[in-house]
Amino acid sequence: MDEAASFGCARALPPSCDLAYQNLYYVMQRTASQPPHAANKLKNYSLQPFIALRDSFIFSVGRQINTPTKIICMPDFKISALLEGHSDDVRAVAFPTASTALTSSRDATVRMWTVVSSPPPKFDDKITVHGSAFINSLAYCPPTGDYPEGLIFSAGQDTIIEARRPGKPADDNAERLLLGHTGNVCALAVSPDRKWLASGSWDSTGRLWEIGKWSKEVVLDGHGGSVWAVLAYDKDTVITGCADKLIRVFNTSGKLVNTFRGCGDVVRALCKVPDGHGSGAQIASAGNDGIIRLWTIQGKQVGQLHGHESFIYSLDSLPSGELVSSGEDRTVRIWNATSCIQTITHPAISVWSVAACAESGDIISGASDRIARIFSRDKVVDSVGSSGRKVEYMGQDYDYVFDVDIEDGKPPLKLPYNLSQNPYDVAKKFIANNELPISYLEQVANFITTNTKGAVVGPSQTGESTYQQPSIPDSRPKVLPQASYLSIKSANLKAIQKKISEINTQLISSGSKDLSLAPSEMEAISALCSQLEQPSSLSKSPVVEATLPLLVKVSTSWPAGNRLPGLDLLRLLAAASPTAATWDQGEGNLVSVIISSGVFDAPISPNNTMLAIRMLANFFETGPGRALVASCFEEVTNKIGSVMSDSVAAGNRNVTIAAATLYINLAIYFTSKENVDSPEASEHGLVIIDQLTKVLRNEKDSEAVYRGLVALGTLVVGLDHEIQTAAKEIYDLDQTLTRVLDVGFGREPRVKGVISEIRDAIN
């Protein structure tokens, strides 16, 4: 019998075999010719193998084996812990030890989760990083001589990589702030020898940083788009995955060694494939085409894994030799060789990240529902399932009887279920019978659905299944019209101040003293940053009047690539002080001055444009600010309309979300009771509706779509019937809404709900 038939093949046993023998992981013929690496693979398992003999034969790869056979069954992953605490999407996860997990979030925090009791594992968390913007990437450096606790690296929207000792509180200084990227840092990885950190960014570069010495920064140039993924392959090699659909291999000196071609779309994830993989691959990649591709280090594509139904965001390898992936189709998938052996569907829109623990073999996922989840192959919830058999419980036969552990020290609760039943009805009954909180309903129903996935009842007389997944009733509260103005005020003031100081020093050293700021002016900006930590103190502070001309200089006169920190402070001032709205030194008001600087003109600098739009949105925090933007309506909307038709700007989600936020605030302003009857309200409302329908026909980011719909709906609901008629008949609003649903956004309950409210208003 050949090696492929006797070892390494995941094969399900014939249906006639008992259920306990199914989900076969490895089939090995017990002979002297067993491959030498077979025993090594078994040593890596942290779980006890299931060993069985069955009638002296078993089927494998369609052959009958007439000698006793050892069957190693790896049980499915089951959820063992929910890590709840983040207030926004969990964007990155790491699982450095069996007792420690790390998560980062759009809520601008990194949390370290530590096991305090088990089984099942229970975690306590502490915030180790508290920034001011989305933290989208995370990496852990294991202990070294210099850092006996290791180091946590995190980065994201503010472009700064923070290195921090795990034991330090969030309000202590970081071990190091790594500056250099000019766009969102979306990928981090530590080399196997723990000597360097790799990073990838929307600024189209990768970078290498020497851990501990911090003196050496190597830039990995030549990318044609955002560097979405980095892989520290070995101590001398780093690999990048790019939005230009290419994979690049660099040495640690920054020299391009090889380029892999053949990816169907944007590359978002990379991982190292364990030695001995059946395909011969050493690297796996994945991305927007929903395919995992397997490569040799020389760039030969040796396999593809199909199963995901949308973007794949994350990849990792398990100590068992399997791969794990997560993506936009709401799933985590486990891959053995080239087969998907388990799919774990999450109650979230996106599963942003997944990581495996090398010690335990457990996995952690981070999702858009703000929850990280630990999955284990240990027995967390037992189930007796049906494969044509029934299980008796309380005098009745069931397809499944689950044992559910609700509380330590107490016996598990029995959850009986037949495939012909509605999971929500069963969950409600289970909760009522056991006097559990009604908040468990969704979790119990999802558990039933997930753990019976793929099982079916026999066809009815009509040929249809007697059970269909029920639609979740939409009990969401009305959101239209939006009544509260939105602002975007989070910031890392220390980093902003530091960046202004660095650029100012560069200007002085390059001889551009006319552009530079004097020491006293730098002190004024420092005082402003201190007061912005408590913005309520700024309403009548003289420091605002003193620093506004300086910030205008930085934001309009400095080289375009250096204007970002000035625009960032103006954004914060627009929300914090009405003085920003009334400022005028003869050159025009702040809105006109910023527009005249060219920040909205081609070629677009997305980060500068995004901050300028955020400034406009933040003006709505004060009465004078609202009046200022409204008085500049034509000037503002002309520029924003132009920006949203620019391919570079329209492809940047930060720009489109900022613009949608501004549209919401304009919609609220013109539908407010003070302004709804003004002559301008209807006229300006139609301009906004025109621009929003154009944006929504092409927008690909769900948050920008949702905010655009809220702005649109606020106008349609809040203005008079003539506006509703015009929206429907002139701007073909219904077709725009249909397009939003057709491209997939309709699967989000919030989007579906807003569209329903808009249609109710216009029909």
pLDDT higher for 180 or 385?
180
Mean predicted confidence (pLDDT) in 683-708: 90
Of 339, 355, 376, the one marking the end of a domain is 376
Does a structural domain hold residue 645? no
DSSP one-letter code for 589: B
Same domain, yes or no: 68 and 82: no
Whether the Cβ atoms of residue 263 and residue 245 lie closer than 8 Å to each other = yes
286-318: buried (b, 16+ CB within 10 Å) or exposed (e) per residue? bbbbbbbbbbebeeebbbebebbeebbbbbbbb
pLDDT tier, 45 (very low <50, low <70, confident <90, very high otherwise): very low
Query: What is the residue type of 709?
Result: L
- Burial status of residue 171 (CB atoms within 10 A of its CB: 0-12, 13-18, 19 or more): exposed
CB count within 10 Å of CB 511 equals: 9
- Bridge partner residues of 199 (DSSP): 188, 207
Is there a contact between 94 and 78 (Cβ–Cβ < 8 Å)?
no
Return the SS3 of 273: coil
pLDDT at 62 over 70: no
What tokens were used for 7? 């070892």
- pLDDT tier at 168 (50, 70, 90 boundaries)? confident
pLDDT at 409: 56
Please report, as a single letter, which amino acid is at residue 224. Answer: G
Q: Is residue 643 part of a domain?
A: no
Helix or strand (DSSP H, E) at 521: helix 519-532
pLDDT attached to residue 64:
27
Three-state secondary structure call for residue 3:
helix
Residue 462 confidence (pLDDT) above 80 = no
Hey, is 558 helix, strand or coil? coil
Q: 427 pLDDT band (50/70/90 cuts)?
A: confident
Report the pLDDT value the prediction gives residue 604, as an integer from 0 to 100.
Answer: 87
Q: Residue 509 domain-assigned?
A: yes
Sorting pLDDT into bands at 50, 70 and 90, what band is 65? Answer: very low
Question: CB atoms < 10 A from the CB of 487, how many?
Answer: 20
Q: Kind of pairing, strands 78-84 and 371-376?
A: antiparallel
pLDDT by residue (tens digit) across 212-232? 988 778 999 999 999 999 999
Closest CA to 132 of 160, 99, 95: 160
Residue 87 and residue 51 share a domain: no
| pLDDT score of 299 more than 80 | yes
The residue from 43, 73, 103 where one domain ends is: 73
Task: Kindly state whether residues 310 and 353 are assigned to the same domain.
Answer: yes
Q: Is residue 640, in this structure, part of any structural domain at all? A: no
Average pLDDT, the chain: 81
| CA 481, chain centre distance (Å) | 29
Query: pLDDT value at position 394?
Result: 74
Section 230-257 average pLDDT: 96
Half-sphere exposure of 448 (CA within 13 A, CB side): 26
461 found inside a domain: no
CA-to-CA distance for 92 and 186, rounded, in angstroms? Answer: 9
Q: Check whether residue 82 and residue 159 sit in a common domain.
A: yes
Centroid of chain to Cα 149? 27
Claim to verify: residue 51 and residue 102 sit in the same structural domain: no
Residues 560 and 665 in one domain: no
Q: Over 80: is that where the pLDDT of 746 sits?
A: no
pLDDT band at 348; cut points 50, 70, 90: confident
Query: What pLDDT does residue 238 have?
Result: 98
Same domain, 155 and 253: yes
Q: What is the CATH number of the domain that holds 433?
A: 3.10.20.870
Contact in structure between 450 and 342 (CB atoms under 8 Å) = no
Domain boundary among 376, 408, 436: 376
Residue 750 to residue 706: CA distance in whole angstroms: 8
Count of domains observed in the chain: 5
pTM exceeds 0.75 for this model: no
Phi, psi of 215 (to 5 degrees): -85, -30
Tokens of 699: 């927008």
Of 494-498, 522-526, 741-745, which has the strongest mean pLDDT?
522-526
Answer whether residue 613 is part of any domain.
no
Q: What is the layout of strands, in order, in the sheet containing 196-201?
A: 185-190, 196-201, 206-210, 217-220
Could you write out the DSSP letters of every residue in 109-174? EEEEEEEEETTTTEEEEEEEEE-SS-EEEEEEEPP-SS-TT-EEEEEETT--EEEE-TTS-TTSPP
Residues 443 and 311 occupy one common structural domain:
no
Question: How many whole angstroms separate alpha carbon 692 and alpha carbon 706?
Answer: 11
Helix, strand, coil in percent for the chain, rounding step 5: 30, 25, 40
Q: How far apart are CA 79 and CA 471, in angstroms?
A: 24
User: What integer pLDDT is reported at residue 540 of this predicted model?
Assistant: 66
pLDDT of 56 strictly over 80: no
Name residues whose C-beta falls within 8 Å of residue 754's C-beta, 6 or more positions apart in sequence: 479, 480, 706, 709, 710, 713
- Helix H or strand E segment including 616: helix 606-618
The reported pLDDT for the residue numbered 407 is 59
Q: For residue 236, how many other CB atoms are within 10 A of its CB?
A: 12
> Among candidates 84, 104, 306, 281, which has minimal Cα distance to 186?
104
Residue 31 domain boundaries: 3-73
What is the per-residue pLDDT across 655-692, written as a single tens digit (0 to 9) for each? 998 999 999 999 999 999 999 999 899 999 999 999 99
Structure tokens at 316: 């990792």
Asked if the structure places residue 524 within a domain, the reply is: yes
Is 147's pLDDT higher than 90? Answer: yes
Burial 194-216 (b: 16+ CB within 10 A, else e): bbbbbbbbbbbbbbbbebbeeee
* 57 and 84 fall within a common domain: no
pLDDT for res 468: 33
Report the candidate in 727, 533, 74 with the shortest Cα–Cα distance to residue 339.
74
> How far is residue 424 from each of residues 284, 324, 421, 546, 748, measured CA to CA in Å?
39, 29, 9, 62, 20
- 295 domain-assigned: yes
| Together in a domain, 314 and 429 | no
Edge to edge, the sheet with strand 176-178 lists: 135-141, 151-156, 161-164, 176-178
- What pLDDT score was predicted for residue 457? 40
Q: Which residue has the higher pLDDT, 734 or 421?
A: 734
The helix (H) or strand (E) run that includes residue 240 is strand 237-242
Residue 604, token pair as written in the block: 């677009």
Least confident of 125-129, 464-468, 540-544, 744-748: 464-468
Whether residue 177 contacts residue 499, with contact meaning beta carbons closer than 8 Å, is answered with: no
Residue 17's closest CA among 8, 27, 7?
A: 27
Element (H, E) at 366: strand 363-367
Task: Identify the H or E element spanning 69.
Answer: strand 69-73
Kindly report the CATH number assigned to the domain that includes residue 283: 2.130.10.10
Judgement on whether residues 155 and 293 belong to the same structural domain of the protein? yes
Tokens 């999702």 belong to: 367
Among 173, 131, 179, 170, which Cα is nearest to 490's?
131
How far apart, in Å, are the Cα atoms of 421 and each of 15, 113, 297, 449, 588? Answer: 24, 38, 50, 11, 69
Q: Say yes or no: 50 and 97 in one domain.
A: no
- DSSP of 620-677: GGSHHHHHHHHHTHHHHHHHHHHHHTSHHHHT-HHHHHHHHHHHHHHHHHHHSTTTTT
First to last CA, the chain: 70
